Amino acid sequence: MSAITSNVAPQVGTCELVLRTVAGLALAALSGVLLTLAFPPYGLWPPIFAGLVPMVLAQHRVLPRHLSGLAYGAGIGVFFWGYLGGTFGGTRAPWMELIPLVAAAIAAAASWRDRAFHERTRYRLLVLQGAAVFVGIEMIRGLLPMVGSWGFVAHALFERTWLLQPVSLFGVYGLSLLILLCNYALALGALWLWGRLQQQAAAPRPAGRLAAAWLGSVALLLAAWTGLSLALLRAPSPTLRVAAVQPGASLRSEEDLARLYEQTRRVAAAGARFIVWPEGYLPFDPQTRRSAELQALAAETRAYLAIGYSVRSERGLRNEVTVLAPDGRFLGVYGKDHPVSFAGETSLTRGTYPAYDTPLGRLGSIICYDLDFTDTARKVARNGAAVIAVPSCDWPAIAAKHYSHVVFRAIENRAAMVKADIGYDSAIVDPYGRIVARAVSSAMQPATLVANVPLGSVDAPAIRLGDWIGWLALAGLVFFTIKGL
């Protein structure tokens, strides 16, 4: 009889281990699915406030203790696969499709000791540690040339203008921190409830008073954030008519250029006085070639033209924007600050952030991938640009998501922004993040956007304070990493 018992017990233990592992991974993957659904093209944004709860339950209650780090690996990996899957297919960097796998490995490794740490501290630090580490990692990602701010949890709320206004003070990282505090407070409550229902005396669990205190505090914080947002939201009178010209094709012939000119004339006839063309549309420097005809177009339309062009040389690429005034003056040159280096792009003239005084107001520009980082638009805004042109050249897989970044750059700097894409995702956004016009499609198509926007006040505290919440979260990440060793 003892022989039979000794043979059966290990089999039962193994079966339980397998079942708990499978169930835990499935629960963690559910978090990845919920986060994915919160972003475009799905737009089911409410789960962004609670999507991590299944993953935390999997890590601390379902998975075997020695495999608990797999929860974060599965949850984050599934999210990045759902968010970025297929994004880089057909580009010059197909190896970027490995990002979900890399993210999963890093998340699993970084969280491997979390369960032991929180059991030792009886979950008193779960909410602070979870939120700080997550946003601290966002801060690191926001500094990396290959990632930028793609997949920031705050971006799921880009159309909730009534909730976004404190971003002008706390930046995009402040909103991410609020979202993560909500997730971990709810997770703490779920862990307490799980313990009550399961009556697992051997497993340390958070105290009910601790869970209630965190849930109440975060609810008050969310209410205060929402109240501040509503108080900051304004509807100033539009003072400038702007336009984004989306040609719907690359420049291959004189006919293509003639169509772009005709689109420009149409939006000017509709009253646009600041007109933005796509990134790198002209394969030559308009200050040295075909200058006369471009100056004639500006004079005819009586509009300021933000002209994107690219010039290749042996040293690399000059990806630039110049603003052409109706009187024929080229006001200056902006060079792309964040080239898409993972695809081999260079930017020889980066590092200057001009803003131009005009009768329309102070104008500036950034280019495409610059949107995915918080620093470039801020530097242009520090020079006083109240309206910022954003020429871009996207590809279909990112169209539904990329233009949403404009919303956060507008609010962070209280500047109106005009994104003109080659054919997928053009948008005009006012200084409060309202998308007043857009043309978004996964199929390349021509479009002309014309809208009235207020001049930006360019007085957001975030212009001076920068990513201060992000840096605080990064400090928290370092602290909790050391403390958990």
CA triple 339-353-403, angle to 5 deg: 55
In whole angstroms, give the CA distance from residue 326 to residue 317: 28
Q: Given pLDDT bands bounded at 50, 70 and 90, which one contains residue 4?
A: very low
Closest CA to 100 of 186, 32, 7: 32
User: 10 Å Cβ neighbour count for 219?
Assistant: 12
pLDDT digits (tens, 9 = 90+) for 204-263: 778 889 999 999 999 999 999 999 999 999 999 989 999 999 999 999 999 999 999 999
* One-letter amino acid of 158: F
8: pLDDT strictly greater than 80? no
What pLDDT, in 10s, does the model give residues 424-459? Answer: 999 999 999 999 999 999 999 999 999 999 999 999
Section 354-381 average pLDDT: 97
pLDDT tens-digit readout, 25-43: 999 999 999 999 999 999 9
pLDDT at 381 over 70: yes
Residue ranges of domains in the chain, CATH in brackets: 2-233+468-483 (no CATH), 240-453 (3.60.110.10)
Helix (H, G, I), strand (E, B) or coil at 158: coil
Q: Distances from the Cα of 238 to the Cαs of 59, 435, 470, in angstroms?
A: 51, 14, 33
pLDDT at 6 over 60: no
pLDDT at 266 over 90: yes
Cα angle, residue 191 at apex, residues 185 and 194 outer, rounded to 5°: 140
Mean pLDDT, the chain, whole residue set: 93
Percent of the chain with pLDDT over 90: 85
Percent of the chain at pLDDT exceeding 70: 96
Q: How many residues in the chain?
A: 485
By CB neighbour count within 10 A (0-12 exposed, 13-18 middle, 19+ buried), where does 253 fall?
exposed
Q: Cα separation of 79 and 37, whole Å?
A: 9
Which residue's structure tokens are 């796998």?
Answer: 101
Confidence of residue 202 (pLDDT cuts 50, 70, 90): low
Q: How far apart are CA 7 and CA 5, in angstroms?
A: 5
Express each pLDDT in 402-411 by its tens digit.
999 999 999 9
8 A C-beta contact, residue 241 and residue 418: no
Q: Angle at Cα 319 formed by Cα 315 and Cα 322, nearest 5°?
A: 130
Give the whole-angstrom CA distance, residue 320 versus residue 332. 10
Nearest Cα to Cα of residue 74 among 39, 37, 34: 34
How much is the pLDDT for 199? 65
Q: Give the model's pLDDT for residue 483.
A: 83
Q: Are 419 and 242 in contact (CB under 8 A)?
A: no
Q: What is the C-alpha separation between 230 and 279, in angstroms, rounded? A: 35
Q: Is the pLDDT of residue 79 over 80?
A: yes
Helices 208-232 and 167-198: crossing angle, nearest 10°? Answer: 150
Unique residue bearing structure tokens 């507008």: 410
Number of H helices, E strands in the chain: 16, 12
Shortest CA distance to 432 belongs to which of 240, 233, 155? 233
Please report where in the chains the tokens 């520090």 appear, as a residue: 382
Residue 2: predicted pLDDT: 42
CB neighbour list of residue 317: distance below 8 Å, 6 or more residues apart? 310, 311, 339, 345, 346, 347, 348
- Cis amide linkage into residue 41, ω under 30° from 0: yes
**CA 124 to CA 305: how far, in whole Å?**
57
What are the tokens at 289? 């070639």
Residue 369 DSSP SS3: helix
* Pairing relationship of beta strands 274-276 and 304-313 according to DSSP bridges: parallel
CA distance 187 to 177: 15
Provide the pLDDT confidence category of residue 313 given band limits of 50, 70 and 90. Answer: confident
Digit-coded pLDDT (tens) for 281-307 = 999 999 999 999 999 999 999 999 999
- Angle at which helix 70-84 crosses helix 99-110, to 10 degrees, equals 160
